[in-house]
Amino acid sequence: MPSVDEIKRRLAEFADIPAELVSGAPLITIVGAGDLTIENYKSILEYSDERARFLTAKGVVSAAGKRLHLRQITRERVVISGKIEKLEFL
């Protein structure tokens, strides 16, 4: 019998959906050095104008920079704007 992860992978492939969205893995998009989008995050661990850290199913995503601000936040997605200088996966 296939595992739950295998069933999710097959479903995503069949429906032509990105596997990250089905598996709960974070989907991270960076546009230039000014916009960072993290989808499938679980919670905000830290937020200031110089650092933001997010808990995801695969660990912590940390962004550092200057003049960071939350431009958009929903249950599934957060968008940070500012001068993003560093992105780490912890």
CATH number of domain containing 59: 2.60.40.2000
72 inside domain:
yes
Give the model confidence (pLDDT) of 38-78 as tens digits: 998 999 999 999 999 999 988 999 999 999 999 999 998 99
1 inside domain:
no
Give the global pTM: 0.76
**Could you list the residue range(s) of the whole structural domain that residue 38 is in?**
26-89
Q: Is 33 helix (H, G, I), strand (E, B) or coil?
A: coil
Q: Is 49 helix (H, G, I), strand (E, B) or coil?
A: coil
Domain count across the chain: 1
Q: Which residue has the tokens 């995801």?
A: 56
The answer to whether 2 touches 10, Cβ cutoff 8 Å, is yes
